[in-house]
Amino acid sequence: MPENDTKFRKKINELGDLWNKQKNNGIKVVILLFLVISLFAQIFPPIQAFVSSQKYMLLAIAGAMMYIIFDSIVSTPQKSRFDQSVVAVHFTDLRPFLHTAFKQAVIEINIAAYSGETFYNLLTEFLQGVLNGIYKPRRLYLRLIVPDCKAYMFVPCEVDNLKVNEDYKKSIQERNNRFANEFVHYFSDIKIRFPEIDILLSIRKHKFSPLFKMIMIQPKIVFFGIYPLAETPINIGGENIKVWDFRGERVKMVGLQFDGTKSEVELANEVSQWFESVWKNLSEILIEI
């Protein structure tokens, strides 16, 4: 951000703070002044004539307009576009963005995740809304990339010896398949009940660890976050062990707008290009309808 712009915003914020502190007292003084003038106007005819004049009314209106404009500018300190970046602490914070997207005629969503569980839990409300006729899109496209847990991945691994637990990986793959099939269920129902909607559900798998999760909602905003690693207690075959695993429900995602600041645009484009590269070159089809 240019230095002059930063200094200007700082001055505006300082002025806003001062104005907010003194505004109430100022309003009281102005109101009291008008009351005094009105009182004197009732007693002294010349003052009454002045108050009733068109010139005075115009001055009063102009003064009121200046007050409103000044108050609007400085009452709320301005923030830079960078400060306005959206941080989704929990995946449910994405709901308003999805609600806006599903009201559009064309809906395009791209997701890269560990299993897609959190996004499935979030999207079911809107997919059900399409089935119920609440949302009436002309096109509904969803692309999802998940890891192929049959391939080698160092994480998840056992805490004690850092060895890969194949039984646990198998359970993750089964979980991924379960949520993939749930998406298929919804999209198949939509396709049957609303054949006029252009439907695409494409789920692909890649062969590397999912270090981050992302969701791109329309070509407008992408939410991106790093997967936290944590010791996770599990039970495999009746045995309680701890594994290092990705915790998708703990991911904090930052919203990057494609029409935002220069930094936002560059990062959003990088994430988008990463997705397209993996999608076209480093993944294979798991499900497509």
**Mean predicted confidence (pLDDT) in 260-278:** 92
**Mean predicted confidence (pLDDT) in 150-160:** 88
158 contacts 243 by C-beta, under 8 angstroms: yes
**pLDDT given for residue 79 in this prediction:** 46
When computed from its CA atoms, the radius of gyration of the chain, rounded to whole angstroms, is 29
Tell me: the pLDDT tens digits for 37-56? 656 656 767 666 665 654 55
**pLDDT given for residue 82 in this prediction:** 42
**pLDDT given for residue 222 in this prediction:** 94
**pLDDT given for residue 216 in this prediction:** 96
**pLDDT given for residue 217 in this prediction:** 94
Tell me: the pLDDT tens digits for 238-260? 889 999 999 888 888 899 989 88
**Mean predicted confidence (pLDDT) in 64-73:** 58
Q: Is the bond preceding 147 in cis, omega lying within 30 degrees of 0?
A: no
185 contacts 131 by C-beta, under 8 angstroms: no
**pLDDT given for residue 213 in this prediction:** 92
- With pLDDT > 70 as the criterion, what percentage of the chain qualifies? 70
**pLDDT given for residue 204 in this prediction:** 95
Higher pLDDT, 35 or 225: 225
Could you give the dihedral angle defined by the CA atoms of residues 173, 176, 180 and 183, in that order, rounded to the nearest 10 degrees? Answer: 160
**pLDDT given for residue 153 in this prediction:** 84
97 contacts 109 by C-beta, under 8 angstroms: no
- Distance separating alpha carbons of residues 113 and 146, to the nearest angstrom: 5
| Vertex 91: Cα angle to 284 and 270 (nearest 5) | 50
Burial code of 91-117, b = ≥16 C-beta within 10 A, e = fewer? bebbeebbeebbeeeebbbbbbbbbbb
Q: What is the mean pLDDT of the chain?
A: 81
Sequence-ordered alpha helix ranges (H) in the chain: 3-43, 45-52, 54-74, 95-102, 117-131, 166-193, 262-281
**pLDDT given for residue 130 in this prediction:** 97
**pLDDT given for residue 3 in this prediction:** 46
Taking 60 as the threshold, does the pLDDT of residue 7 lie above it? no
Taking 90 as the threshold, does the pLDDT of residue 283 lie above it? yes
- Enumerate residues 6+ apart whose C-beta is below 8 A from 173: 148, 149, 150
Higher pLDDT, 34 or 219: 219
Taking 70 as the threshold, does the pLDDT of residue 94 lie above it? yes
**Mean predicted confidence (pLDDT) in 223-251:** 90
**Tokens linked to 30:** 């102005």
**pLDDT given for residue 144 in this prediction:** 96
- Distance separating alpha carbons of residues 145 and 221, to the nearest angstrom: 18
Name, of 67-81, 185-199, 251-265, the range with top average pLDDT: 185-199
- With pLDDT > 90 as the criterion, what percentage of the chain qualifies? 44
The pTM for the full model equals 0.69
